[in-house]
Chains A and B, each alone.
Chain A
Amino acid sequence: MKPKLMSKYLDILGIVFLTLFLYLSVAFRASPISFMNPGFPILSEDDWTSAPSITLNWNEYPQKYVSKDKFSEVAYIGRFHLDDYSQMVPNPYVPTRLEPTNFSGFHTVIKYSEANYAISTLHSNYKKHINELKTLEYIITEIPGLNFSSRANAYYIWCEQISAVNKGVFDTETVGPCFYWAVYGEYYSEIRFSMWPFRGDGRQYSVELFNDVLNRADKKLSDATK
């Protein structure tokens, strides 16, 4: 009778231990970042499963940085590029070769201890950026023709192809970098888009993809504060 009882307890102990371990591992596997820092918004491969023609590749997988002064402030920085295989364009150097429309993104997200800090960072970073560019002081709050409207508490979009000529049309022929700064609650997000690996010379900037990325990033941010 005793060995039977022992094996029953061993079973219970083993199964509880494995279940706990399994729960923790699934939590890590599902979203390790969320597990370590709940609500962290960033683009992940899972965000693109609904768009099979688009692939997300990390040049540098998001790295975590913790503020030395305030441990509650955490920053994540990642570099990625997106390839849109539904829009193939000729390579500018080898025109016979078709390449997917793509661009690279540099994404930074900082979670501050207070929402005010996030807002002040948004304004200071934007001003710093504009001061560096000096002559190109034209900010847009929407992407013409794409009906993008952010749900952020505060946001800026700056695109060279619009801003440089101060016109309200997104010129896909003139390829240049775009910036999107946004704040949701305690989260500050900054995305810099640029063509990769080629610039100009007939490469088409995928405006739809650009808009799609912004919408997904925007949704992630808005979900984070819920």
Chain B
Amino acid sequence: MNSDTANQEKQYFGLIGLDKLPLVVKTINFCISTVIGINLAFDSWYSHFYRGIPSYISPPFLPLIFAWPLCGIMLWLRLTGIKWVWCLLASGIILVGYYMLQVLALAIGQFIS
């Protein structure tokens, strides 16, 4: 019993210990965060799409424009106990979701005009 307790103490549950959250909570967190991430991505990136990339930003810094909200969502997910692989998957879903929203927005725009 004592050795079990000692092993448990040695176990690593993430930087703030949220890796031990129940799977259901993690799943809900993952889904909600990803949906919010897609919306934030659309809000942040779509203006660059139709206005163009601002010319005053040097090319080496351009990826920084698109770092938000990807980095924010990944950071949030990892800190709340989601594994890195799933964080990367969430980023991929955000990129795909943004692309789909963009196509939808352009189609609606063309339909209206």
Q: Which residues of A contact B (CB under 8 A)?
A: 1, 4-5, 7-8, 10-12, 14-15, 18-19, 21-22, 24-26, 28-29, 32-33, 36-37, 58, 61-64, 76
Closest Cβ–Cβ distance, residue B57 to chain A (whole Å): 6
User: Is the CB of B106 closer than 8 A to any CB of chain A?
Assistant: no
Interchain CA distance A32-B14 in the complex, whole Å: 34
Interchain CA distance A25-B65 in the complex, whole Å: 6
Contact stretch, chosen from B29-37, B70-78, B92-100: B70-78
With contacts defined as CB atoms under 8 Å apart, how many contacts are there between chain A and chain B in the complex? Answer: 69
Closest Cβ–Cβ distance, residue A170 to chain B (whole Å): 34
User: Is the CB of B2 closer than 8 A to any CB of chain A?
Assistant: no
Contact B78 A15 (CB under 8 A): yes
Contact B51 A11 (CB under 8 A): no
Q: Which residues of B contact A (CB under 8 A)?
A: 10-12, 14-15, 44, 51-52, 54-58, 61, 64-68, 71-72, 74-75, 78-79, 84
- Of all chain A residues, which has the CB nearest B65? A28
Complex contacts, B52 vs chain A, CB 8 Å: 61
What's the dominant secondary structure at chain A's contact region?
Answer: helix
Contact B11 A26 (CB under 8 A): no
Residue among A19, A28, A33, A63 with max Cβ neighbours from chain B (10 Å): A28
Q: List 25 A-B contacts (CB under 8 A).
A: A1-B10, A4-B12, A14-B78, A15-B75, A15-B79, A18-B71, A18-B78, A19-B75, A21-B64, A21-B71, A22-B67, A22-B68, A24-B64, A24-B67, A25-B65, A25-B66, A28-B61, A29-B44, A29-B68, A32-B57, A61-B52, A61-B55, A62-B56, A63-B55, A64-B55
Contact A25 B68 (CB under 8 A): yes
Complex contacts, B72 vs chain A, CB 8 Å: 22
What's the dominant secondary structure at chain B's contact region?
Answer: helix
Closest Cβ–Cβ distance, residue B82 to chain A (whole Å): 12
Interchain CA distance A63-B71 in the complex, whole Å: 28
Complex contacts, B74 vs chain A, CB 8 Å: 18
Interchain CA distance A37-B64 in the complex, whole Å: 16
Closest Cβ–Cβ distance, residue B2 to chain A (whole Å): 18
Complex contacts, A10 vs chain B, CB 8 Å: 84
Please pick, from A14, A19, A33, the residue contacting B56 in the complex, using a CB distance under 8 A: A33
Interchain CA distance A226-B51 in the complex, whole Å: 31
Complex contacts, B66 vs chain A, CB 8 Å: 25
Complex contacts, B67 vs chain A, CB 8 Å: 21-22, 24-25
Closest Cβ–Cβ distance, residue A176 to chain B (whole Å): 30
